[in-house]
Chains A and B, each alone.
Chain A
Amino acid sequence: MNETSELDDIQLITLDVNGTSHEVIVPARHTLVDVLRHDLRLTGTHVGCEHGICGACTVLVDGLPARACLMFAAQAEGARITTVESLADPETGALGDLQRAFTEHHGLQCGFCTPGFLMLAEGFLAQRPEPTREEIREVVAANLCRCTGYQTIVDAIEACATARCADRAEQAPGAEETPCN
């Protein structure tokens, strides 16, 4: 059972999650998603397949979507990790604009895949603020949802992108009019 005990070697690591620094003692083999969920009790990030296909565990690592089931927690040390728990207003609990778009467009039913789609979309929209519907659909195809048939998820992300684009245009008056997709 030597192999097991090596795998169970414990490490003290520091994780930066949603802007808060956490020191956790974890066995080397524990995945990021397990540590987020069970050590830090941030249970919004879900586990759907543990082999990187379904995307229910999607979080942002340094701003980019990543499968938290395919990373060891120790690998995330030094990175900025962002989870679904960061999206609502920390003071009031009010939903963020992407979350509101999901509820307005009925982009969720059972809600199990939803945190993964939200983080996927947040990461994507940060990279590509004015995507076409086709580009959104392509990105949404990265994760699995069994309830919605995806259309309303695409609708929600599209609506959010459009609204953000309009906000940016409003906030930058003198700037050249840029068409919002």
Chain B
Amino acid sequence: MNAVPVNADPMKPVQDDRMVGKSVRRREDPRLLTGRGRFVDDIELPGMLHAQFVRSTVAHGRITAIDLSEVRRVPGVLAAFTAADLELGDIVAQLGRPLSEFVPTAMPVLARERVRFVGEAIAVVVARDPYAAEDGLEAAKVTYETLPPITNEQQALATGAALVHEEAAHNTLVDVSLFATEGIDEIFDQASCVVRVEARTGRQNALPLETRGAVAQWDDREEQLVLHTCTQIPHQVRTVAARCMRLDERAVRVIVPDMGGGFGLKCVVGREEIAVAAAALRLRRPVKWIEDRKDALSASFLAREQHYTARAAFNADGRILGLDADVVCDMGAYSCYPFTAGIEPLMASAEMPGVYKVPAYRVRGRAIATNKAPTAPYRGVSRPQQVMVVERLMERAARELDLDPVEIRRRNVITEFPYTGINKMTYDPGSYLESLNLCERSLRDAGWYERQTAALAEGRHIGIGFSCFSERTGYGSGAFAQRKMKIVPGFDLAEVRMDTSGAVTVTTGTMSHGQSHETTMAQIVADALGVDIAKVKLHQGDTDRITYGWGTFASRSIAIGGSAVRLAATKLGDKLRAIAAAEWGISPDEIELDRGRVRRRDVDAVLTHEHLADIAYLQSHLLPKDIDPGLSASAVFDVSNDGTFSNATHGVVVELHEGTGQVEILAYVCVEDCGVAINPQVVEGQCRGGIAQGIAGALFEQVTYDAQGEPSATSFMDYKVPTAHEIPDISIHHLETPCTFTETGAKGAGEGGTIGAPAAVLNAVNDALRATGVELDNTPITPETVHRALTPSTPERTP
């Protein structure tokens, strides 16, 4: 048992020992540093078999025959199942929108008569070891009647195009036109300055370093299918698994072990995890599937391929008058569960005005189906692109109007809160102007403007760029309902229990996969309950252990899950005080919680948690009638308004290198405000890691497809993930505008880095290209593009 520190001064305020706001060491680290974590591939069960998937070799086609007879003869192979063998229900994600706005499409667990992308799972092969399973794949014979592959937006929308889903005319899954402020056309007609941007962003993989994987086992005693899987949304996987296998939901238990990242790719239900569960159910033996990197890159879930056509009107003072945008998101072959193919276009459409006071707005957002791997939410979801487009419009207007690029932002950022935007969203208080000013000052004080001028004189190309943005976090059920999701995430539910040793067990519906919740949630509980942080243990990711939850995505965990945890801990604290009050015969108001004890305010007397827990459990006859035995409390937290908005400004200095076309990042400053930082070191980690992923999208990563729909990137040889060589040191400044409606004052902090980086990098590159007259609007910004911009005589590359 941990010793309770003695307080020399009994009247010393408890506040001094607050854990929230301190960079306490992570609870997760010791096991992860010693190789004692438990990731899904570390799970080994007696008699376990290994699965791999026969995958489509064509992008679009009808399956005319599947012959697995040779597969079943391969040494070591025990079984091979097609869709017809397993008879599973489909995965169907729905929006509550009319057919004119959303076309629901089914994603079968295994392809039946039709394949829609290279890599689509057709059959599952189960063998005694992973090597034999791979051998089995080689022996599969699938024949196809090929159909014309739809590999880009132009083909998808062309008249008479082949249809990826027969029910979706024009290959359009989502088509919404929103806001359309009255008189917007006149505003553009009469504006003194109208600027345009057309931008395309590359298709990316969120790329958790741990690929997806699952271990499934039927448990006869529990009459339950136990599915160990690395998912950000355990309860939603349970729902889908139960429905696909036609089991009661009780008969599925999803357990999430340590997870090697997710970034959104694991916050949708994967068809393979369901197929593995079904195979284990059929075979009554444990089955493991670990995705290889080729499948992870080409056949899991991708994101971010979008095309913006946008214009903005400004007055002569550089104040924005209107924003008009058309967004087309290439969602690939299927709608993901639970978010649907609407995830990207609906996010882009709703949130594009961002941090600026935009008086008139019109947007059309579309999701189109193509013969590519489907799309899942990826860290930031559309905001990296929409921020990039709006920030390009700002820069372009600044050039047209001969204004400083920071000054034009100053004139347009929201400064009075709460602010209800043209997009009908109400922004809670933030530090938009302050972060912008601080970021600029930071680069100015470091001498970067002088260095830029000096470099220019030497013929070098140094550019400075900014991005200014907010990040809506803590989407409650209200916000998701407004998006018209049929499956409406939002609330979270926490339970806090104390045992007779005074140790505290916390459950949350959120699912940490790198975000340090075992530490940060314990910090919240330690403060709320007046208990040593070492006494608090968080449990997550086990549907039989946790009442219910929506998992971790959309930067919801600390804002919503952390609030539920705080509420539950406070309730438990109230019970401790009530029990003590009964013992002392005083009012609970005269008692405070203090590090493993409760303390009387009036005289120097304490009772330990262990003592109170003994009464609650072992001597419950001592409890007054109105206090139930036991020490546990649960609480729900939801956000009924539009959520809480974290904000930041990023400032980047780049140098472009002639000859190689390399974009070198010389300096990177991030001024961020996520309200109360529960653990500042963790917040900085989220910022830096997020920025690295944003830089990856801006400069390096892209999955392209050839005319047949074959993906170009199937290994790390052709999908360039940036290393320590490309990612610079990042300087972070914190501002703190506490959220007024979360229980801790915290806002979400998970995605901002990724959101802000592409815009800032792109603006910096364009600043460096100023003398050339070339402006770039697409990402990734390849060395070839930069080289051509710097060297106008470079001939176009012939394909």
Q: Does B717 contact A (CB under 8 A)?
A: yes
Asked if A145 is at the interface (CB within 8 A of a chain B CB), the reply is yes
Q: B717 to chain A: closest CB distance in Å?
A: 7
Question: Given the complex of chains A and B, what is the CA–CA distance between A30 and B260 in angstroms?
Answer: 24
Contact present for A48 and B210 (CB under 8 Å):
yes
A4 touches B (CB below 8 Å): yes
A29 within 8 A of B: yes
From B21-29, B389-397, B538-546, B553-561, the one touching the partner chain is B21-29
Complex contact A110–B725 (CB within 8 A): no
How distant is the Cα of A147 from the Cα of B38 in the complex, in angstroms? Answer: 18
Mark each residue of chain A from 138 to 172: 1 if its CB lies under 8 Å from any CB of chain B, else 0: 10111111111111111000000000000000000
Asked if A16 lies at the interface with its beta carbon under 8 angstroms from chain B, I say: no
Q: Tell whether, in the assembled complex, residue B131 and residue A150 are in contact, meaning their CB atoms are under 8 Å apart.
A: no
8 A Cβ contacts from A48-96 to B: 48-51, 53-54, 56, 83-85, 87-88, 93, 95
Closest to A101 in B: B33
Q: Who on chain A is nearest to B731 by CB? A: A151
Residue of B nearest to A27 (CB): B131
Question: How far apart are the CA atoms of A104 and B730 in the complex, in Å?
Answer: 18
Q: Given contacts A46-B260, A149-B691, are A102 and B724 in contact (CB under 8 A)?
A: no
Asked whether A144 lies within 8 Å of B35 as measured between CB atoms, the reply is: no
Nearest A-chain residue to B139, judged by Cβ? A1
**Contact present for A99 and B33 (CB under 8 Å):** yes
A145 to B32, CA, bound (A): 14
The answer to whether A147 and B514 touch (CB under 8 A), given A51-B716, A108-B33, is: yes
Q: Which residues of A contact B260 (CB under 8 A)?
A: 46, 110-113
8 Å CB interface, B12-44 against A: 23, 25-26, 28-30, 32-39, 41-42, 44
* B259 proximal to A (CB < 8 A): yes
- A51/B717 contact (C-beta < 8 A), A46-B210, A110-B260, A153-B724 known: yes
Residues A137 and B725 in contact, CB atoms below 8 Å apart: yes
Asked if B742 lies at the interface with its beta carbon under 8 angstroms from chain A, I say no
Mark interface residues in B715-735 (1 if CB within 8 Å of A CB, else 0).
Answer: 111000101110101100000
Give the residues in chain A near B471, CB-CB below 8 Å: none
Contact present for B32 and A108 (CB under 8 Å): yes
Q: Which residues of A contact B727 (CB under 8 A)?
A: 149-151
Cβ-closest chain A residue relative to B514: A110
A41 to B292, CA, bound (A): 20
Whether B209 pairs with A4 at a CB distance below 8 angstroms is no
Chain A residues with CB under 8 A of B692: 146, 148-150
Which size class do B's interface residues fall under? 35 or more
Bound: A115/B36 CA distance, A: 10
Contact A109 B293 (CB under 8 A): no
Within 8 Å of chain A (Cβ to Cβ): is B258?
yes
**B residues less than 8 Å from A44 (CB atoms):** 34-37
Q: Name the residue of chain B whose CB is nearest to the CB of A113.
A: B209
Set A7, A8, A83, A113: member contacting B35, Cβ < 8 A: A83
Most chain-A CB neighbours within 10 Å: which of B516, B690, B693, B716? B716
Instruction: State the CA gap A163–B209 with chains docked (Å).
Output: 30
B724 partner, pick from A49, A146, A150, beta carbons under 8 A: A150
Report yes or no: B131 in contact with A30, Cβ–Cβ below 8 A. yes
In the bound complex, residues from chain B placing their C-beta under 8 Å from that of A115 are 35
Nearest Cβ on chain A to B26's Cβ, whole angstroms:
6
Interface residues of B in 69-85 (CB under 8 A from A): 73-76
Considering the chains assembled together, what is the distance between the CA atoms of A144 and B211 in angstroms? Answer: 13
B46 to chain A, nearest CB (A): 13
Report B445-479 CB contacts with A as 1/0, cut-off 8 Å. Answer: 00000000000000000000000000000000000
- Interface flag for A106 (CB, 8 Å): yes
Evaluate contact between A85 and B209: CB separation under 8 angstroms.
no
A residues within 8 A CB of B716? 49, 51, 53-54, 144
A121 to B292, CA, bound (A): 26
- In the complex, whether A47 has a CB less than 8 A from a CB of chain B is yes
- Shortest distance between the CB of B34 and any CB in chain A (Å): 5
A residues near B, CB below 8 A?
Answer: 1, 4-5, 7-8, 27, 29-30, 34, 37-38, 41-51, 53-54, 56, 83-85, 87-88, 93, 95, 99, 102-104, 106, 108-115, 118, 137-138, 140-154
Q: List 7 A-B contacts (CB under 8 A).
A: A4-B74, A5-B75, A51-B716, A102-B29, A146-B261, A149-B690, A151-B727
- Sorted nearest first, the 3 A-B pairs with minimum C-beta distance are A44-B35, A112-B260, A111-B32
B residues contacting A by CB (< 8 A) are 23, 25-26, 28-30, 32-39, 41-42, 44, 73-76, 130-132, 135, 207-211, 258-261, 263, 290, 292-293, 513-516, 681-682, 684-685, 688-693, 715-717, 721, 723-725, 727, 729-730
Known: A8-B75, A29-B131, A46-B41; 10 extra A-B contacts, CB below 8 A, are A46-B210, A106-B681, A109-B261, A110-B210, A111-B37, A111-B258, A146-B692, A148-B685, A149-B691, A151-B729
